[in-house]
Each structure stands twice: as structure tokens, then as C-alpha cells.
Structure 1
Amino acid sequence: MQAYVTRRRDELLSTLLDRMNTTFADEESALEQYQTNPVAFAENVLEESLTGDVKRLMESVRDYPITIARSANATGKTHGAARVAVWFYKSFPGSQVYTAAAPPQANLEKLLWGELGGLIEQHPKLFQNDTTKNLHIERSAQSFITGVSIPLSGTAAQRQAKFSGKHAPHLLFIVDEGDAVPDEIFTAIESCLSGGHGRLLVMFNPRAEQGEVYRMERDGRANIVELTAFNHPNVRTGETVIMGAVDRQTAVRRIQQWSRPLSERERPDSNCFKVPSFLEGATAVDQAGRFLPPLQGGWRKITEPAFSYMVLGRYPAQSARQLISREWIDRARSRWDAYVGQHGEVAPVGTRAKMGLDVGEFGTDANAACFRYGGFVERLVTWSGVDPLMTADRAVEEFLSRDVSRCSVDATGVGAGVAPQMARMGCLAHSVKVASSPNEASELGDFGLLRDQLWWSVREWLRTDSGAMLPPDEQLIEELLCPTYDTEGGKVRIMKKGVMRDLLKRSPDRADALCLTFHEPALLFSFLE
């Protein structure tokens, strides 16, 4: 009898487990219908109502290998990313989802994984067959959502190795605060996306046009989705449709405080926006509790760069204390194209070039030579190698092949011997120590170092000279857009080169070469001193 009872119990248990496994398999299979419809997955399975911008984000991840989500503050990018992660994980068998955020680790734990933890609590049945632990949701060793930390220490190669070699039938990477993530992380991720069904979603607030994420946009390697405050239902309706998100009061206050109406004679430019019709007449209270006047319609000029990335989800035309604006560069680029269209890439007749030579300090740096004929700048010439004699030989070759009045050479480090060697070979060249005191005769202002003065000269040239012309060189443009400036003791200070190197992930060789063309030596033959 006991044997019969034991056998019968085992049979019943086996039948129950078979039914449960069948149920789980059926549920997993049923979710596969949402592979081509992530919005329906969020609405039907997660029972949520999405904003239009989040819907576009989810559909972009479905349709494009790389999606970049430029987001204003509190418009739902992290909320949407968590839904993308769960949709991909549940809809594609054998999928792997890797999530990361710029250091510190709390960025990942509190934001994206806070949203994922909320989904697990709200939908226990959806995750009942999964194993969950800190920064990890798993249905098998081959299928999971996991968090990967980006170390602050170690070499670039070590950081890259953490994201290399990921392979699965369906692979998704989600990177938050992507503008602060090292370039090598994206290099590793893109190598993983080279075959099969792979996707990358990068999210960030677009503060400055620099770094690998910006270059993905610039080079057309990603689809762009903007999540703006003006599209959010809380702002559009004036009601709290989504708790914790941006609200109308905040949007209106920022419009009033961070922009101004255009005057009658002003025309809209890249630093302007038009007030949405649904906000006309809206009021708000400032931080001191005072009522602001009703918002007027029409075009407004952005006066605080934060408005662009915190409200519009766009790069600012000129960030706070940015040395050189995108608008000035765009004008100089247009003039160059117009000039070349009429004359070809030929220097203006009767104008001699000033040559600037930035000498590479390290093996990864380039030697960059810039030739400026008044306002016309040739395409820059670059070459590798840090041997000063070889650098001088190449520089002399470039000098003698043009009508050049003089060459200003960066004399920092290994560059100290280049100008004297060029002089011995018949070129009028002089050494420039950019860390020395500025020229006393400058009319541009007071500067801490000569380097500050040279960068400011380029700024004023682009800002005020209607003949300034820049060649189509994206690296040069990115370098010119990089630095900010400040004042210390009444003297202008430009962002240090080491900081620029960290931001650009390279040395600003091309921009430095252009700056050197603006150096006016106190003595023409200073190299002989």
C-alpha cells in the first residue's frame, strides 16, 4: 500500500509539473508575437500607457541597430528603457540584455534598475519563472538581463574587455548617461553587434557636441529620438498624467527665466524656439513664490544653454561659457564651401599663408600643420611620428610647397627642436611657448597665458570676421567646439589642454595648429635668440 501511495503521489506531482512547464512554455511562446510590436507589449502585457516619445524610442530600437535618445529632464527615458529591456528579454528566446551607465555604479542601480525592480513587483506572474538577484534577471544561463559596471580605474583595454565577446541570438545593450561613457566601451559594443540580431540604445542629456555618442550622430551611425518636455502629456495637458515626470509649471518657469522674446528686428536662428500654442497664456510661480506674467506666444531666444538640453532635449547652440559657438563655425563652413565652389581649393591670389605647426607630444598624437591665407584655411595636413628631425623634414616640405610668410611651431616638449631645424633648412620659423606670458600689446583683453590669448584670437576671428572660412574637417570642428573659458583675477583662462584631451579622447592637435597661425612674434627672428 505504501509503495502504491508513493507511486501515485509521484505520478500526480509529475503531471502537475508537466502542466506547469507547459503553461510556462505557452506563455513564453505567446510573448513572441510582440517581437515586431514593442508598444503593444507595453500596453497589453505591462498594461501601461506610453508617451508618444517613448513609443518612438521603443520602435526605433526595434527598427535600427543603434538608437540614441536625447532627453530633456524627467521626460521618461529611463522609464522607456526599462520597458525596452523587458520587451526584448521576454519576446526573443535566448536573448541577452546588458545594461550599463556612466560611473558611479549608483547611476545604474537607482535609475534603470529601480525601474526594472518596479516592473518585477508589478508583474510577478511575468517573472515567476525567472531567478532575480541584484542587477540580474535570469531564465537560464544563456538568457538574462544583467547590469555591467564601468570601472573608473584600469586601462582602456581592460574597460573594453568587459563589454567584448558578448554573443547571443538576440543581443541588446542599454547605456545610460552615454555622453560620459568612455569611447572604448562603445567600440567593444559595436564589435558585438557585427552579426545577428543586435541592438544598442544610448540615452543622455545632450550638453555638448563632443564624444563618441555625438560622433555616432554626426556620422549617421544611429537613429535619433528626442524626448522633449513640450511633447510630454503633463506639459501638454497641464494635468499630472504621469507622476514624477516634468510638469507644465516647471516648463513654463524655465521658458520665462531661461529665454526672452525676440525683438522686432531679430530673426529666429539656431538658438531660438517657438512657444507651443498650448502654452500661450500659461502662468507659473518662480522659486520665491512670485507669479510670473502669462507666457506670450511667438519666437524666443534661449539665454541659458541648459534650456536646450533640460527642456528641448537638444544640444545647446552655445553651452555655458563655451568659447566658440556652433553658429560661428557653421557660418565659416558655409563661406568656405561657397568660395571653393567658385574658385576651387586654391588660396586667394596675392595672399601669403601663415603656417601653424602643432607637434605631437605622444605616440597617439598627430603632427598637424595649418595654412591660413587671411581668412581662408586650407584642409589641414596631419602625419604621425614624434621624432623632431623627421617632423621638421616633413614640415619644411609642406612649407616650401606653398607661399608661406612664416611658421609658428609649438615648442612644448619634443617640439622644442623643430623650429630651429626648420630654420637651418631655409624656412622662416619660430618657436612658440604657449605656456609663456601673453603678448603685452594685445587689444583683445587680459589673458593668463599665451595659449589663452591664441584661442581667444580664433574665437574673435570666427565671431567677427565675415571672411573667416573653415574647411570640412569634423575633427577640427569638434575640437573648436570643445573648450569653455573662465576668468581668474580679471584674466581670461581657456579650458586646460589636459581636460580637453579627456573630453575629446585625443589631443586637440588641429585646433592648436589653427591657433598658432594667429601668433604674432615679438621679434621676427626669435628662433635665433
Structure 2
Amino acid sequence: MNVETKNKTAADHLVEDIESFYDDPLGFVQYIFAWGEGDLEGHTGPDTWQAELLEDVGRHIREGEGRAYQSAIASGHGIGKGAVTAWLILHQMACRKNLNGVVTANTKQQLETKTWRELALWHSRSMIKSWFEWTATKFYHVSSPETWYVSAIPWSERNSEAFAGQHGEVLVIYDEASSIPDCIYDVSEGAMTTPNAMWFTFGNPTRNTGRFRESFGKFKHRWNTKQIDSRDCKMTDKRKLEQWITDFNIESDFCKVRIRGLFPSASSMQFISGDLVDDAREREAKCYLEEPLIFGVDVARFGDDQSVVCFRRGRDARTIEWTKYRSLDTMQLAARVAELVRLHQADAVFVDGGGVGGGVVDRLRQLHVDCIEVNFGSKAEDARYNNKRAEMWGGMREWLDGGAIPTDRELVDDLIGVEYGFTPTNKIQLEKKEDMKKRGLASPDMADALALTFAYPVAPKGMAGKRSEMARKRREYDPFAVKR
């Protein structure tokens, strides 16, 4: 053993080991984590698709002759893309001096609570955690924080040039890339002229337009593409996947996007399909008189919105003509609703209680109208949904499969215009009205009114009285009473 080798410290040997993984990211990941121990107990290493991606990256580093590397991964839910994103960042930071990288996601919340936090988790597990510092917006080498780092930057069309400032050793990562606009892609494209630049895009293939989709189509020759089925991955919740298949059908756009990693036939962000709505417009309205008549009252919040009263009896939401009101204050609207309730003898009245809706509810109660206030943002009873509004729309979507609606073009536009997504905990959430207006669409007042009729179950006519009588008799009956 020579003197130089003898004097090397454990830290020196670690540096040499890590340097040897420059073109072997899979070996790097297998080396720096204590697989099978601590919170990685039961885990033996990367999943098959993750290992294949890491091997492909290593092959390109060895054989790519300095060309940029671009990888697009379309997948179902829960496959471990957050983990592989963290591994790629750690590998590139450890093996490429003065790396200058940027990471973004479809939303600021996704970036902060999922993508970037996953990096913090894997950084803390690694044997090289002392080399780097993780902050809420930056991951940097402690020896060169100003020149050797990866930044977490929420995308903005007004600040797209934030993605142009990549020099030297370049790394770009997009999470939920289907929802990142083309103008951000255009800027990142410019960074790919840098030798050895690397660009990774991950996401559910939610849109069949845009640059992420084109990475698998007309620009496929530039990208290394993979489409990952959640059912083939080790860490996915197989019971949840089977539930989705049962609920939506494996050939549905929902399952194509959320499970199979395939692009949809139509815009998968669309919560209710046009075919479903068209069928409901053309279907004959049928109902049973013993079914309850339910009112849904959506209250206008802004000057360009309208208040809508919807009437539904069973599968029939067409026979009784809906009413629309503009420029009414809460007192006037409550008076109109009270008249309609008495005219049609409503069995249940559900009122949107958000914004000024609470005033309508209060006034209706003063007018002795029995109504139920519904808060769109309140907690859903069905665990699949993020809030009450999403849950009601889910019930309405199921009902449309056999229901009948008015042939009102405005209602049709409302129903098919709303898009949806998922929270970080995989709960369905609907697009906000404010975001719809940014897309040039009107507030879906008519559709929200119909959705309100699904707020809570309503007993068929006569059942409420029968149940009350049965409950009274049960209370009066005492099996232990002494017979007289």
C-alpha cells in the first residue's frame, strides 16, 4: 500500500466511489441508499421501469458523444416518478460539477408538496447528504452554493425566461408535464443546445394536445419515450386501481390516463363527456310521482353570473322549466324561490350557501321555507372526492347516464366545460370557476344548480312520515315493561 492510498480518509474513498458512478446512475442509486434498512425496509431497490430509465441515461452518457438527452415518461398514478426524479437530481448533482438545474411542475402546490419534498426525503436518506443543502427553493452543493445547484421554480408565462438561464452543466425536469404550456417548453428547448444537457418530463397524459403529447408524436424522434402502466409497478395501490377499473371501465379515458399511461381519446381533463350530455338531452323524460321533487338553487356571486333554480324528480330534470335570474339581491331571490317552492310543493331545497348564498338561506328560513344550505368547499362524504362540489358533480355525472335534461345550450356548455384534476392525495377536484373564466368560459351556474340536487339523499314521498311513525312506535314499545 503506497503512502497516498494509506493517507486517504473514508470521505476521500466516498468521493472516489461516487465519481465512478458518473455514467452509471443505476449503480449510484443502489449504492448511496441503505436498501432494506430503516424506512427502506422491504425495499430492495428501484422498480423495473425506474432501473430501465437509469440504465438508459447511463448508456447515453457513455455513448451520446455530448448530445443532449431528452426523456418523456407518460404514466398512470403512483408509479414512483417522484422518487426517480429525486434520484436523477442527486446523481447529476453528485457527478457533474457546477450543475445548473431547474425543476418545475404543473402547479406550485405540486412542486412544493410533492416533487421538491420528495427530493428532501431521498436526500436525507443518502450517504452523501452532508454534501448538499436542501431549502424550499434551492438544492445546492455546500462548497459552491452560487454555481452548483438545482432550483425549484413554479412556471409562469409572464416569467418564462426564468427557464432560459441555464449554462454549463444543464438539467431540466418537468413534473406533470402535460399541463405545462408550450411557451415554457420553447424556452427549455433553447437550453438543449448545451453539450450534455439533460431534460426529463414526467406526467399523467391528461391532454391530447400540447408539447408533452407531441413528445410521443411528431417530435418523438427527439425524445426517449416510455408509457408506464400502474398495474406493472411495485408500489401502486392495486386495490385502488381495481376500484377505478370497476367504476370507469378499463377502456375509458379515465383509466387510459390514470392507470395505463395512455393519452386519452378526448380531453381527459373534461369531467363530463359530450356524448353523455347529448344522450341526456335526447332521452325521453320519465319519472315516478312518488319520487321526491328536489330544488337546486345556485346563487350568483358576481355581476356577470346568474342565479339558477333547477327542478329534478328522479331521472327527470326537464319537465318543470328551470328559472334564471340576474340582478336580484338576496331578499328578492329568496322571495322568488319561496314562491316556486309553494307552487311546486318541493320535497327538498338545496341552496348554494357560499358567498351571498347564506343571505338567501337566512331569508328563506324567515319565510318558513325548509331548505338545506350546501357549502361547495365542505368535506365530501365520499373519500374519492376533494370537496362537496366535486362529490355532487360525481353524483350528477352518474345520473346523466340515465337522466333527462333540458335542451338548453347553456346547460350543455356548463356540463362539458368543467375540467378536473387530482389533489396530492389522489382525490378528484374540479376546476375553479375563476380558472374557467380565465379560459374564456362562463361560470357553470346551470350545471351547479343541477349538481346541488345531488347534495344529499332525499327519501321518496311518504317515506319520511312512515319512518317517523315507525321510530315513534319503536320508542313506545318497551320489551321489558310489566304487562298490566
When normalised by structure 2's length, the TM-score is 0.49
